[in-house]
């Protein structure tokens, strides 16, 4: 079958990939659509170190083709959004409703694929830039068949991460002031999460002026391009200075850039919270003054929106069907999987909210 393999030198579409049968508790999914998230690029450019060969893609949706022994939550023919977690369901963290903190699966490197006679790794427990994937049953969340899979795919990472960071991790209160640094697929979902949470000011910040239109569509009340500002933090704080001169209640860093991590902390008001979503290159250090934190300020990391995928995917699909969560508008373009490189180029050129690869036909 076809799939995009990163071999440590190049990422290319191959057609000599195979995946093993689903074992007990596993599901074989025919992938129909998969979003290109920056984290896939981060494997290729070394920001996220990963063993090779690895099949890329971790934001997908498709149709259940076959289930292994003991699988009861999905049946062949079901449409599913895939979650990357595959948590054990039995540990203390799973029982406390925090599957993103399950220790027993994070960092595992399954090798369900075979490529040119060698085992190949899956990425983030999924690998959906391939025609088929084998995942754990609890990674499959069934959705109604009338939701377009090209839109549903984006729930699997961008929506769970961005909206979840607002609602589950930071728990933004109505009336808050929120800054969102980086308006890509993650930032747009933070923006719409903040809108759903009832934030009063949602200030989108991006060095690419073309991002303003989408930011406002998703709920931003203001847009700042700090590129030529002599003081980036001052430019971001100036937007709300009329009502909140000390800074923001919440700042979400959605790029993974050390200087923006510093800006996130510096732009906080007293008792404000900086949520770090962007994945900076492994080993990167960021500086801040501890003195800045004494006024009850908080710095939060956030994995995957601190999500509970079986609950949250259903909630987000319901919000989508109620017209309150935008999914179709996240899809700037679809590309047949053969045009993978065009999607990468467009993402790098800042042309996409999300590019979605299609695997059917």
- The answer to whether the bond into 78 is cis (omega within 30° of 0) is no
**Beta carbons of 100 and 157 less than 8 angstroms apart:** no
* Nearest distance in Å: CB 258, ligand NAD: 10
- Distance, in Å, from the CA atom of 273 to the CA atom of 249, rounded to the nearest integer, reads 6
CA distance 321 to 329: 13
The yes or no reply on residue 181 touching ligand NAD (CB under 6 A) is: yes
Which pair of tokens denotes residue 313?
């995917």
CA distance 306 to 164: 6
- The least distance separating Zn ion from the CB of residue 343, rounded to whole angstroms, comes to 14
Q: Smallest distance from the beta carbon of 58 to Zn ion, in angstroms?
A: 6
Give the one residue of 33, 126, 302, 357 binding ligand NAD; rule: CB under 6 A. Answer: 302
Residue 181 binding target from Zn ion, ligand NAD, none, CB below 5 to 8 Å by type: ligand NAD
170 lines the binding site for ligand NAD (CB under 6 A)? no
**Six-digit token string for 294:** 């004494």
Stretch that binds ligand NAD, among 125-133, 202-210, 306-314, 326-334 (CB under 6 A): 202-210
CB 132 within 8 A of CB 156: no
Any contact of residue 114 with ligand NAD (CB under 6 A)? Answer: no
17 DSSP β-pair partners: 115
Terminal CA-CA length for the chain: 12
Question: Does residue 87 bind ligand NAD (CB under 6 A)?
Answer: no
Q: Is 332 in the site for ligand NAD (CB under 6 A)?
A: no
164 binds, among Zn ion, ligand NAD, none (CB under 5 to 8 A by kind): none
Torsion of CA 45, 205, 85, 27, to 10 degrees: -80
By CB under 5 A, the residues from 69 to 108 that bind Zn ion are 87-88, 91, 94, 102
Q: Residue 97 or 119: which CB sits closer to Zn ion?
A: 97
Q: Is 57 in the site for ligand NAD (CB under 6 A)?
A: no
Residue 333 backbone phi and psi in degrees, to 5: -155, 150
Q: Report whether 17 contacts 5 (CB < 8 A).
A: yes
Q: Does 251 interact with ligand NAD (rule: CB under 6 A)?
A: no
Select 115 or 218, whichever has its Cβ closest to ligand NAD.
Answer: 218
154 interacts with Zn ion by CB under 5 A: no
What phi and psi, each to the nearest 5 degrees, are found at residue 226? -85, 10
**Quick check: 237 binds ligand NAD (CB under 6 A)?**
no
Comparison of 82 and 181: residue with beta carbon closer to ligand NAD: 181
Pair of tokens at residue 100: 């993103």
Interacting residue with ligand NAD among 205, 235, 357, 359 (CB under 6 A): 205
Stretch that binds ligand NAD, among 11-19, 167-175, 185-193, 309-317 (CB under 6 A): 185-193
257 interacts with ligand NAD by CB under 6 A: yes
The residue among 19 and 344 lying less far from ligand NAD, judged by its C-beta, is 344
Calpha distance 291→306 (Å, rounded): 28
**CA torsion angle 247 252 257 263 (round to 10):** 10
Which residue's C-beta sits nearest to ligand NAD?
Answer: 184
Q: Please name the helix (run of DSSP H) or strand (run of DSSP E) that holds residue 68, with its range, or none.
A: none
Q: Does 347 bind ligand NAD (CB under 6 A)?
A: yes
Helix (H) or strand (E) holding 141: strand 140-143
Binding-site ranges for Zn ion (CB under 5 A): 37, 39, 87-88, 91, 94, 102, 157
The residues that touch ligand NAD, with contacts defined as CB under 6 A, are 37-39, 42, 157, 161, 181-187, 205-208, 211, 254-257, 260, 277-279, 302-304, 347, 350
């Amino acid at each position: 079958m076809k799939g995009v393999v990163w071999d440590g030198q190049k990422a290319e579409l191959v057609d000599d990939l195979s995946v093993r049968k689903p074992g007990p508790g596993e599901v074989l999914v025919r992938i129909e659509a998969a979003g290109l998230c920056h984290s896939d690029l981060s494997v290729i450019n070394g920001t996220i170190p990963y063993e090779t060969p690895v099949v890329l893609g971790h934001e997908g949706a498709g149709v259940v083709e076959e289930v292994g022994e003991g699988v009861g939550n999905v049946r062949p023919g079901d449409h599913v959004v895939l979650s990357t977690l595959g948590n054990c369901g039995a540990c203390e963290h799973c029982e406390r409703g925090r599957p993103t903190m399950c220790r027993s699966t994070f960092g595992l490197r399954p090798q369900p694929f075979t490529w040119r006679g060698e085992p190949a790794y899956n990425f983030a427990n999924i690998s959906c830039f391939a025609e088929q994937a084998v995942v754990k049953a609890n990674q499959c969340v069934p959705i109604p068949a009338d939701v377009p899979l090209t839109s549903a795919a984006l729930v699997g990472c961008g929506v769970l991460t961005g909206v979840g960071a607002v609602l589950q991790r930071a728990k933004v209160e109505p009336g808050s002031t929120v800054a969102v640094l980086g308006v890509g697929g993650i930032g747009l979902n933070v923006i719409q999460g903040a809108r759903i949470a009832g934030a009063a000011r949602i200030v989108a910040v991006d060095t690419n002026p073309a991002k303003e239109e989408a930011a406002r569509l998703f709920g931003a009340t203001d847009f700042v391009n700090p590129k030529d500002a002599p003081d980036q933090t001052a430019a971001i704080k100036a937007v709300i200075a009329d009502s909140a001169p000390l800074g923001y209640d919440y700042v979400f860093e959605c790029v993974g850039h050390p200087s923006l991590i510093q800006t996130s902390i510096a732009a906080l008001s007293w008792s404000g919270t900086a949520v770090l979503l962007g994945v900076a290159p492994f080993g990167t250090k960021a500086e801040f003054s501890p003195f800045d934190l004494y006024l009850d300020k908080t710095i939060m990391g956030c994995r995957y929106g601190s999500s509970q995928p079986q609950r949250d995917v259903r909630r987000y699909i319901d919000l989508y069907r109620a017209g309150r969560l935008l999914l179709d508008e996240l899809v700037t373009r679809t590309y047949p999987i053969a045009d993978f490189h065009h999607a990468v180029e467009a993402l790098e050129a800042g042309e996409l909210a999300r590019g979605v690869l299609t695997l059917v036909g």
